Amino acid sequence: MTVDRRPGVVLTDHVLQVPLDHAAPDGERIEVFAREAVAAGRERERLPWLLYLRGGPGLATPRPLARDSWLNRALRDYRVLLLDQRGTGRSTPATRQTLARRGSPREQADYLAHFRADSIVRDAELFRRHLIGEEPWSVLGQSFGGFCTVHYLSYAPEGLREAFVTGGLPGLDVSARDVYRAAYPRIARKNAAHYARYPQDVAAVLRIAAHLREREVRLPGGGRLTAEAFQGLGMMLGAGSGSYALHDILAEAWVTGVSGPGLSDAFLERVRARLSFAESPMFAVLHESIYGQRSVDAKGTGWAAEAVRGEFPQFDVDRALADGGPLHFTGETIFPWLFDTDPALRPLKETAHALAERTDWPDLYDAERLAACEVPVVAAVYADDMYVDAGHSLRTAERIRGLRAWVTNEWEHDGLTAGDGAVLDRLLRMARGEV
């Protein structure tokens, strides 16, 4: 085991060999990596464990540089396990480079079918038993990590002492199309708030979109910046400071060279950094599959965000250009054409299509077990969360026995990290009956 001491925190690396398919424990195995974090000076204390499941899918757990953000609050009470969910970070990677070894796109899709919440929770259970035996631990699930937490409550509640969820109570029986039909109006509200704050951005966005319609623009690294890809910057609008950051990017878009006005290299690099999936390709490849459940939608997910988009004309580029806008940015929406414009995704195009066509996704949530839940659960539900529908979350909260929900508009979806520990502190006090 590798031990790394950083300001205020001691980090210890752990690696487990786990089955690729937990239903075939004697078959192929992959590695799952996790980093244990404990407050400096408390390494030898017997502390309760808190498993952290981050958002995603397909995103590695952030590497703490010091004892800061929500981790600072957690380390007052817990020894924390930061899990790199399978396929991410230092776990056996799943990228265009590694998946090519799996064979055909269909074979790659079959492999990735084992990278959803059900497999992640079973990996966590192996880690729990490896670290503390049969003693239960606590779990903190942020965003998609909350989806994993609700699966944990459905299928392995005996492993949990308590559960905390921030911005991540999923709809138990909503299809992928239901998710995006609910999402587009929320995304539209975030756009309206942005343009109310920065009315000058209406013209700025239209000017950039018109430029992208008229000529081919390449990002550093070779990706194509189409008008629709440009709309993907709306992912930023779901974070507390996202509108301000988006405005700053737009304000520095243009430079005048020998050929006249054009998009600046600095602007294109900032856009590339926001839009590229090179660091997290599985976020795009697996995104809609996290909603797949055969009992909810026997037809599969089928590029739901693209299928539903036409019902919301305010996201249509050509209509906005013809009408004088405003043009709405999109949000946490993955479209099939991304696999043409992003070099990191292009080799995975057929694999993504195979996953979109898949119809045999196992169910993820057990409503009967959740209704009989004996694990204390507290959840932060953000009132106008752009990423996770508050209505879906509150209906789920009503169906998990004993769950206490804190509904707030003080924070956006990134409240756990942006709040410097305040959100987690509130949930901990709720769990202890202090509020």
Q: Looking at the annotation, which residues are catalytic?
A: 143, 360, 413
> Measured between alpha carbons, how far is 369 from 146 in angstroms, rounded to an integer?
17
> Measured between alpha carbons, how far is 192 from 170 in angstroms, rounded to an integer?
25
> Measured between alpha carbons, how far is 302 from 299 in angstroms, rounded to an integer?
8
| CA angle, 294 then 397 then 88, to 5° | 60
> Measured between alpha carbons, how far is 152 from 158 in angstroms, rounded to an integer?
9
- Are 166 and 427 in contact by the 8 Å Cβ rule? The answer is yes
Burial string for 163-197 (b: 16+ CB within 10 Å, else e) reads bbbbbbbbbbbbbbbbbbbbbbebbbebbeebbee
The amino acid sitting at 195 is Y
Residue 83 phi, psi (nearest 5): -90, 125
> Measured between alpha carbons, how far is 297 from 305 in angstroms, rounded to an integer?
15
> Measured between alpha carbons, how far is 205 from 227 in angstroms, rounded to an integer?
10
- Are 34 and 82 in contact by the 8 Å Cβ rule? The answer is yes
CA dihedral sign, ordered 169, 279, 181, 242: positive
Residues in contact with 332: Cβ distance below 8 Å, sequence separation at least 6, in sequence order: 183, 235, 238, 287, 386, 387
